[in-house]
């Protein structure tokens, strides 16, 4: 029940009833709209988040369980770190103890990313009610990892199949490598490629601009989480193009566009939530073989992949729906992002 225009005057005068509408003032009533119910899109999104979190947990457990084996094996690896100019170039090569130290760094970076994810989930939900907790999940990196990763898998696969069917592209053949070597190389891709594309190509230019503009603590732009403004979007597209082209040497034309699409997703997570989120997206994508490394049969792994592809079709539709208001409101965004996890 809402106040009429006369209610406040009679309430202030100390009367028990309003002379205009007859309302009794002893009981304060107000109109409270019903909470928006959680529809099928919301629950499908949460299911996707849970599915991806299980994948990530298995992959993290694999990295921890196999840490010692890979550490011993790393002493035999001669490895080179790349920079993109825009094609890949080795700028630092190491082996032996250097490779072992690098493996420790990679594991620490991935586990710290998981720790930041857990910290984010905890900090955004302490002291909230169950209903607020459920709706609040939509503003977490875990939620968007659940939507973006299955979609990127489906989109990349669809593009590659189209290129094979209607073009001259072919899937490259790779020699089977030791599982320990693959764990080392794919962990490096998850961490190092995010550093040289997202941090150096998005965060660093924005940090320099923030410093020149005398913004507060410009160095914090390096770790992302500043929001998706117009300048950030331009850098996301540019870095994704370079990231896609960098895959030409190892994969050929078939991987350029799929990697570009993956770069857009990783760049969005980096800008909206931080470097840890893009590292986790890269990690969950590249460490899919963890189930095989832990001894799961190829048949069981195939079922999981089919489930992932089916889920990806659903999340792609959800992202398309969510992308409409994002696109419509993008022109009203500021040029330089500085929201830091409030976007």
Tens-digit pLDDT profile for residues 292-336? 998 888 888 899 999 999 999 999 999 999 888 888 877 777 788
| Contact (CB, 8 A) for 184 and 70 | yes
Q: Is the pLDDT of residue 343 over 70?
A: no
pLDDT of residue 336: 81
Q: What confidence tens digit (pLDDT) does each residue in 95-117 have?
A: 999 999 999 999 999 999 999 99
Instruction: Kindly tell me the sign of the dihedral angle through the C-alpha atoms of 66, 71, 75, 77.
Output: positive
For residue 72, what are its two tokens?
A: 């011993």
Distance CA 75, CA 72 (A): 6
Phi-psi region at 225: left, alpha or beta (left = phi > 0; alpha = psi -120 to 50): left
Inter-axis angle of helices 256-272 and 141-166, nearest 10: 170
Length of the chain: 343
143's CB contacts (< 8 A; 6+ apart) are: 45, 46, 49, 137
Inter-axis angle of helices 230-245 and 204-212, nearest 10: 150
Average pLDDT over residues 48-75: 96
Q: What confidence tens digit (pLDDT) does each residue in 140-194 have?
A: 999 999 999 999 999 999 999 888 888 766 666 666 578 999 999 999 999 999 9
pLDDT top residue among 12 and 282:
282
- Count other Cβ atoms within 10 Å, centred on residue 108: 11
Distance CA 245, CA 275 (A): 21
């Amino acid at each position: 029940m809402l106040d009429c225009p006369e209610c406040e005057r009679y309430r202030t005068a100390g009367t028990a009833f309003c002379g205009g509408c007859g309302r009794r003032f002893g009981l304060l009533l107000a109109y409270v709209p019903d909470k928006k119910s959680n529809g099928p899109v919301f629950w499908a999104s949460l299911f996707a988040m849970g599915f991806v979190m299980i994948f990530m947990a298995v992959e993290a457990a694999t990295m921890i369980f196999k840490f010692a084996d890979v550490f011993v094996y790393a002493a035999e690896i001669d490895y080179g770190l790349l920079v993109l100019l825009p094609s890949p170039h080795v700028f630092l090569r190491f082996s032996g103890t250097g490779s072992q130290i690098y493996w420790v760094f990679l594991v620490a970076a991935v586990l710290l990313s998981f720790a930041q994810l857990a910290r984010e989930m905890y900090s955004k939900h302490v002291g909230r009610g169950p209903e607020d907790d459920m709706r609040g999940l939509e503003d977490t990196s875990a939620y968007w990892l659940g939507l973006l990763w299955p979609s990127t898998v489906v989109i990349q696969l669809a593009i590659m199949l189209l290129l094979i069917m209607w073009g001259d592209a072919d899937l490259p053949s790779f020699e089977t490598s030791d599982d320990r070597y693959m764990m080392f190389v794919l962990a490096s891709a998850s961490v190092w490629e995010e550093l040289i594309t997202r941090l150096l190509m998005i965060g660093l230019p924005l940090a320099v601009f923030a410093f020149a503009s005398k913004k507060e603590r410009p160095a914090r732009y390096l770790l992302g989480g500043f929001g998706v403004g117009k300048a950030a979007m331009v850098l996301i597209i540019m870095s994704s193009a370079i990231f896609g082209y960098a895959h030409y040497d190892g994969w050929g034309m078939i991987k350029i566009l799929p990697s570009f699409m993956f770069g857009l997703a990783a760049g969005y997570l980096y800008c909206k939530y931080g470097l840890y989120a893009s590292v986790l997206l890269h990690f969950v994508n590249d460490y899919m073989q963890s189930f095989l490394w832990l001894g799961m049969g190829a048949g069981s792994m195939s079922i999981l992949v089919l489930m992932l592809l089916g889920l990806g079709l659903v999340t792609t539709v959800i992202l398309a729906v969510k992308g409409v208001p994002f696109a419509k409101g993008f022109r009203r965004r500021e040029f330089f992002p500085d929201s830091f996890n409030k976007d």
